Chains A and B, each alone.
Chain A
Amino acid sequence: MKTKVLRVVIFVTALICLLFAMLIRCDYEWQKENVLDKDIVYDTDIYGDLYQICMVDNFRIMIDPRRAQYQFSEKQPSTEDADVLIFGDSFLDHPRQKGIHELIADSTGLRVFYESHYLTPIYMADLVGIEKSRKRVMIMEVVERYVSTIDAYKPEPAHAESQLEDESTSDNYPVVDWASQASRTAIAFLFPKDADQSYEFLVRRGIFINRISALISTIKFDLFGYINETTPVFSKDPPMLFYHESVDSSKYSYFHYHSDEEITAIVENLKEIHDYLLENYNLEFVLFPVPNKITIAHKLVTEEPYDNFLPRFFEKMEEQELPIIKIYEEFVTSDRLLYYPNDTHWNTLGMNLAYKIVVSRLAEIRSQLANDSTLMVE
Chain B
Amino acid sequence: MLFNSFRFLVFFPVVVGLYYLISPRFRWVLLLLASYYFYMCWNVNYILLIFISTLVDYACGLHIARSHSHTTKKILLLISLSVNLGLLIAFKYYGFLTTSAENLLGDFNLVYQFPQLDILLPVGISFYTFQTLSYTIDVYRGTSEPERHFGIFSLYVAFFPQLVAGPIERSYRLLPQLRQWVTLNYVNVRNGLCLMAFGFFKKVVVADRLAEYVNAVYNNPIEHGGFSTIIATYFFAFQIYCDFSGYSDIAIGAALVLGVQLMTNFRQPYFSRDIGEFWARWHISLSTWFKDYVYIPLGGNRNSKWRWYYNLMVVFVISGLWHGADWNFVIWGMLHGLFIIGSVIAQGRSPYRDSDRTIVPACNWKTWLQVFFTFHLVLLGWVFFRANNVSDAILIIKNSFDISFFDDQVNLFRFQVDFPMSVVLIVLLLVIDYLQLSEGFNKRLRSLHSVIKWALLVFGLLTIMVLGKFNGADFLYFQF
**Chain A residues packing against B (C-beta within 8 Å):** 2-3, 6-7, 10-11, 13-18, 20-21, 187, 190-191, 195-196, 199-200, 203, 216, 219-220, 223-226, 229, 232
Contacts and interface: CB of A to CB of B under 8 A. Distances in A.
Interface string B244-268: 0000000000000000000000000
17 contacts: A3-B184, A7-B20, A10-B16, A13-B17, A14-B16, A16-B13, A17-B9, A17-B13, A17-B17, A21-B10, A190-B37, A190-B40, A196-B6, A199-B6, A203-B6, A224-B415, A225-B416
B445 interface: no
Nearest to B472: A196
Interface string B1-21: 000011101110110111011
B184 A18 contact: no
A15 B16 CA distance: 11
Contact of A21 (B14, B415, B416): B14
Contact of B417 (A15, A190, A225, A232): A225
Nearest to A202: B6
Interface in B421-480: 421, 465-467, 472
B366 interface: no
Contact of B10 (A11, A190, A191, A199): A199
B41 interface: yes
Contacts of A200: 6
A274 to B, nearest CB: 41
B465 A216 contact: yes
Contacts of A196: 5-7, 472
A192 to B, nearest CB: 10
B406 interface: no
Contact of A10 (B7, B13, B421): B13
B414 interface: yes
Name the 5 nearest CB pairs between A and B, nearest first.
A14-B17, A199-B6, A17-B10, A17-B13, A13-B13
Contacts of B11: 17, 21
A3 B40 CA distance: 33
Contact of B17 (A10, A216, A226): A10
Contacts of A11: 17, 20-21
B220 to A, nearest CB: 13
Given A20-B10, A200-B6, 5 more contacts: A6-B184, A21-B11, A21-B14, A196-B472, A199-B10
Contacts of B417: 224-226
Contacts of A232: 414
A233 to B, nearest CB: 11
Interface in B40-95: 40-41, 44
B186 interface: yes
B371 interface: no
Nearest to A2: B186
A17 B185 CA distance: 22
A232 B21 CA distance: 46
A17 B41 contact: no
A195 B7 contact: yes
Interface residues of B, number: 30
Given A203-B6, A216-B465, A14 B13 contact: yes
Contacts of B421: 224
Contacts of B189: 6, 10
A223 B466 contact: yes
A300 B14 CA distance: 49
A259 B11 CA distance: 52
Contacts of B41: 191, 195
Contacts of A220: 466-467
B280 to A, nearest CB: 36
B44 A191 contact: yes
B44 A187 contact: yes
A200 B20 CA distance: 28
A6 B10 contact: no
Nearest to B183: A3
A245 B16 CA distance: 43
Contacts of B186: 2-3, 6
Contact of B7 (A13, A187, A199): A199
A42 B16 CA distance: 36
Nearest to B15: A14
Contacts of B20: 7, 10-11
Contacts of B467: 220, 224
A16 B472 CA distance: 22
A199 B10 CA distance: 9
A199 B14 CA distance: 15
A232 B414 CA distance: 9
Contacts of A18: 14, 17
A223 B416 CA distance: 12
A223 B465 CA distance: 13
A15 B13 CA distance: 9
Contacts of A226: 415, 417
A6 B183 CA distance: 12
B375 to A, nearest CB: 30
Contacts of B415: 224-226
Contacts of B416: 225
Nearest to A7: B184
B188 to A, nearest CB: 10
Interface string B112-133: 0000000000000000000000
A116 B465 CA distance: 39
B420 to A, nearest CB: 11
Contact of A191 (B13, B40, B472): B40
A235 to B, nearest CB: 17
Contacts of A216: 465-466
A232 B413 CA distance: 13
Nearest to A12: B17
B257 to A, nearest CB: 9
A191 B11 CA distance: 12
B33 to A, nearest CB: 11
A16 B10 CA distance: 9
A38 to B, nearest CB: 22
Given A3-B184, A220-B466, A232-B414, A14 B6 contact: no
Interface in B173-191: 184-186, 189
B254 to A, nearest CB: 14
